[in-house]
Structure 1
Amino acid sequence: MRLIKVTIKGYRSFKAETSIYLDDRITVLLGANDHGKTNFLSALEHLNPEKPFDGERDLNWDEDAYPDQFPIIKYTLKPDDDEKEAISGALTNKERVGHADAQLDTLYERQAEIEAEIQELEAALKEKESSEGNSAEQQEVQESDQTQQHEGDQQTSASETEASKLLKAKEAELSPVEEVIDNWQRAREVVSRIEGNEVSQETVAAAAATLKRRLAQSDVDLKKANEGKSAASKSLEKAKGSDDAANISQAERTLKQASDNVSRILSENAMLRRAQLRLEKHLEIAKSKSDKAYLNIIDQLTSISPKCPDTVEVVRKGVGGDLELLRGADTEPLPGFVARLLPKVQIFSSVDMT
């Protein structure tokens, strides 16, 4: 991307907000000494993600009481057509996944509420069963109150029946929520694996093939990791036989590292296997058109297709602050797909050739 504008405030000698536009080819700075030419060039360097503001050097002396707000520099950049396409695809993926996550959060909350209600009803029924047992023992002792006890039993039975009905209703309510969660999880997996805007049989099949290759490699890695863990376990047993504390400690650390490696690969393997199954299920449904509810979710997600704006704005604010993406009036952490496209800024001092 090409830098076309820089807006500076509270940075070194730039107290008031100052905007400087950069030419397509050459920009010349003219001014007397100590009027901010070097400070402007230094401001450009903070476009590099690894170059935060320094409180001692970069904060304007009139703003030293506000190091969390100043300095502030906004960079306006213009992507070319290929970069726009790449940013649009990444934004689409990000927003689709974000929308799916928001839907899933709501569904998870509803699932938790229903499960809590079910647990309360089950506990109430168990308590009633327990109290019924106590009532039966009391009835044997208090034969004279048989009629009154009979009426109480009828009330208890009616109450238990009502609780049982409510429990069955809640269990029936939970089932469709779990089905919707499963659909949204599968849809999220699909859109998260697609590069670009199009979610077609071809793009999903390509993503599934990539997952299959990664899973095959993960299986190989898991086999090697288990072999390494087995070797580390044998080394530990051998070290224990030597009764050397240093060797034992080293062997224990090696075994722990090997065990952690196996656990990590197992977790990754399970994630890849789950993702592959979801993509394969999507292909099956998309081909047969058998699950309208799921396909409606896919349609809802694919309708989200933001376009890259003509200019991209990133901002760095406050001493030690990171670069952030500016979208309207809001900022968000700088996405990797934008960071990769930022120009690298390097300042060269003039060299005296005489």
Structure 2
Amino acid sequence: MKEKIFTLIIALIAGFGFTANAQLNIGTGVPWGSLGAAEPLVLNEDFTGFEFFHSDSTTDMGNSNNTFDTDGVTIIYGYKNDSVEVPILGSESGKITYVFDQCAFAPDWETAWAFKDGGGQTPNVSNGFVEVSRDYGSNPPTVRGSFKVDLRELDFVEVIQWTHSSCGGNKRGVMLEFSLDDGATWDTLRYQPGNAWGDSFTKDPFTLDKTPNGYRCDPSAYGMTWEDGVYAENVMLRFGEAGGQVPRIHDLKVYGTYTPPTSAKVIDKEDIKVYSFNREIRISEPADVAVYTITGNLIKKAVNTNTVQMQEVPSGIYIVNAINDGRTVVKKVMIQ
């Protein structure tokens, strides 16, 4: 397995910064393959094996219109909660768990506009999807849902590739978050907003402080592709809306490593985890921390801390030495 560098890289082919007048990329997303995944493929999901559970009859319609049955009393709910385990590829016992909160499935449907126009679906986007609910003023109202992917049995998650689309029109959004602390906190891995791309960072309370980038979701009704580097362990993913229409996740590929458990009982304390995000080094528990350049020069030192700010240092690879309760861990991190 390649060396574990606990950092997070968001692959943005068009660049990172943006200005109010910047030209925004309105292509079909991020092409797959630019990150050069070297770890094995451990999950290859297209959601075609899920039971049909969608209340509308065409791909142009979302599932969020909760209605009353013909008796005027019975409520027909459009979404359900569920959890499903799927095997880790190449493993006899390892599992990846999906947790669906207010989601619906349509295993055979094309993307909305490919269906509407009789073709034109974006390459690499499969038919079939899991749809995540949004806030919707039906009677009763639909509540915002999520789709979680529990990858914590994997030793290391390197790269993920995934696709999404929207129901109905274009410029719909999707958000992907990640957690490295068993779901206690979540950070933004990819934030792709909908119609009001610029306004969404200042006016939409659900999308404040998310990760900006140069991609709009204009082609999302035909499907869009994304590739993101994670480079971490103990990973959970969470898909949801980005202040717009319901998102639909069509595909999810995960590259990483998995070691089957042995019969030996592990009694040692869990290793200290070190990773970086948003130019900040994070430690899984309070520790005495020293940060060195790749050539061995000490540039930062802190006592009994979970975080070390790295905003002022040049981008590059750094060595982190963290000590807690007699345990020492040395990790490389990338500041970018």
TM-score (norm 1): 0.19
Higher relative contact order (CA 8 A, sep 6+): 1
Structure with greater helix share of residues: 1
Larger Rg: 1
TM-score (norm 2): 0.19
Structure with greater strand share of residues: 2
